[in-house]
């Protein structure tokens, strides 16, 4: 039986994929920070007779310590992980800068750092699987945002949108660096942009943006059920390259700043240093 680990597996796209793989007969470990959402997922799993293959793992992925504990928990629960899907996200487009107890800016910590730690940290248990795949769900192919090399934590000039966009670009580079660093790996790393999907994401936005986003979702967005189909297809039949990026079903050329290997390795080293110095 294959094992699928999904961060943000209790809501939106992650939950859609969790239910998809439960219906396919897989074992699914869904990670989220809210126990009620985990319980709701398990209740849905019970309605499709899959509760014995579903697990909720509570973790606040803004914390590197909690993310590392999660890795230990996954490793002790599973001898191999076939698929790791990284969906956990909480947009903070407005408001003032918040910093985690470990000293990381919120978007950097949740949307990028947790994905870095999980991608590299679960490598051994994933190498034990037959056809391991990591899917990092974000916005590859969108030419917005950049890495603020001299101020990664945006301590000097913070903006919520700036931080969110930086985390997206950092995830593009994470995939490039993963493939460059682990040259002998069997893991296929996919950066995936699902396009606009009608999830509960706008619920966490401030007004009037919440209403505007909900209205545009109602008109323009794809349903979760539709959006997970091409994701599952890629997860089940990943491309041959160690890293590939997709926008829906379209494979993106790995050109330009977003996928620059030197920048990717630079960010990789900087991230390793940050982790070493702040979470020792």
Ligand X SMILES: NC(=O)c1ccc[n+]([C@@H]2O[C@H](COP(=O)([O-])OP(=O)(O)OC[C@H]3O[C@@H](n4cnc5c(N)ncnc54)[C@H](OP(=O)(O)O)[C@@H]3O)[C@@H](O)[C@H]2O)c1
**12 makes contact with ligand X (CB under 6 A):** yes
> Contact with ligand X (CB under 6 A): which of 68, 73, 90, 154?
90
**Min CB(128)–ligand X separation in Å:** 25
By the rule CB under 6 A, 175 interacts with ligand X: no
Task: State which residue, 128 or 220, has the beta carbon closest to ligand X.
Answer: 220
Q: Assess 11 for contact with ligand X (CB under 6 A).
A: yes
Confirm or reject binding of residue 13 to ligand X (CB under 6 A): yes
Q: How remote is the C-alpha of 24 from its chain's centroid?
A: 22
Position of minimal CB gap to ligand X: 12
User: Rounded to an integer, what distance in angstroms lies between the CA atom of residue 138 and that of residue 208?
Assistant: 24
Tally of CB atoms within 10 A around 8: 26
Q: Round to whole Å and give the CA distance between 200 and 43.
A: 19
Binding ligand X by CB under 6 A: which of 25, 200, 237, 256? 200
- In the complex with ligand X, which residue's Cβ is closer, 62 or 263? 62
Q: End-to-end alpha-carbon separation of the chain, Å?
A: 36
Binding segment for ligand X (CB under 6 A), chosen from 19-27, 150-158, 193-201, 255-263, is: 193-201
Distance CA 200, CA 74 (A): 27
Residues 50-79 that bind ligand X (CB under 6 A): 59-62
> Which residue carries 């107890």 as its tokens?
101
Candidates 55, 87, 133, 235; binder of ligand X (CB under 6 A) is: 87
Q: How far is residue 205 from each of residues 88, 92, 106, 127, 247, measured CA to CA in Å?
A: 16, 7, 15, 38, 24
Residues 131-150 that bind ligand X (CB under 6 A): 137-139
The first and second tokens of residue 171, run together, are 């995830």
Distance CA 168, CA 138 (A): 6
Backbone angles phi, psi at 268, to 5 degrees: -60, -50
Work out whether 109 is an interface residue with ligand X (CB under 6 A).
no
Among residues 203 and 241, whose Cβ is nearest to ligand X? 203
Q: Least distance (Å) from ligand X to the CB of residue 162?
A: 16
Does position 172 bind ligand X by CB under 6 A?
no
Report the SS3 class of residue 83: strand
Cα–Cα distance, 267 to 272 (Å, whole number)? 8
CB of 60 to ligand X, least distance (A): 5
Distance (Å) of CA 148 to CA 15, 88, 165, 198, 236: 32, 22, 11, 30, 35
Stretch that binds ligand X, among 44-52, 199-207, 228-236, 256-264 (CB under 6 A): 199-207
Q: Nearest approach, Cβ of 116 to ligand X (angstroms)?
A: 14
Q: Which of 3, 33, 166, 263 is in the footprint of ligand X by CB under 6 A?
A: 33
> Which residues on neighbouring strands pair with residue 193, listed in sequence order?
247
Residues binding ligand X (CB under 6 A): 8, 10-14, 32-34, 37, 59-62, 87-90, 110, 137-139, 193-194, 196-197, 199-201
């Amino acid at each position: 039986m294959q094992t699928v680990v999904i961060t943000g597996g209790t809501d939106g796209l992650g939950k859609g994929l969790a239910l998809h793989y439960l219906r396919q007969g897989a074992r699914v470990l869904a990670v989220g920070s809210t126990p009620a959402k985990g319980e709701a997922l398990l209740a849905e799993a019970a309605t499709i007779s899959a509760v014995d293959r579903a697990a909720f793992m509570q973790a606040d992925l803004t914390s590197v310590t909690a993310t590392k504990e999660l890795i230990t928990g996954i490793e002790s629960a599973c001898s191999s992980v076939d698929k790791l899907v990284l969906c956990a996200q909480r947009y903070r487009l407005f408001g003032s800068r918040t910093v985690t107890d470990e000293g990381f800016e919120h978007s950097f910590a949740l949307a990028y750092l947790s994905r870095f730690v999980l991608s590299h940290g679960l490598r051994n248990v994933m190498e034990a699987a037959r056809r391991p795949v990591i899917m990092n769900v974000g916005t590859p192919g969108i030419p917005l945002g950049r890495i603020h090399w001299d101020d990664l934590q945006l301590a000097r000039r913070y903006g919520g949108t700036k931080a969110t966009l930086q985390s997206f670009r950092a995830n593009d580079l994470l995939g490039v660096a993963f493939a460059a660093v682990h040259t002998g790996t069997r893991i296929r790393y996919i950066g995936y942009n699902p396009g606009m999907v009608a999830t509960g994401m706008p619920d966490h936005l401030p007004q009037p943006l919440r209403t505007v986003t909900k209205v545009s979702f109602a008109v323009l967005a794809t349903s979760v059920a539709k959006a997970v189909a091409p994701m599952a297809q890629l997860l089940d039949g990943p491309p041959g390259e160690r890293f590939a990026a997709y926008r829906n079903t379209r494979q993106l050329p790995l050109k330009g700043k977003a996928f620059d290997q030197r920048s990717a390795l630079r960010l990789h080293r900087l991230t390793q240093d940050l982790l070493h110095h702040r979470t020792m």
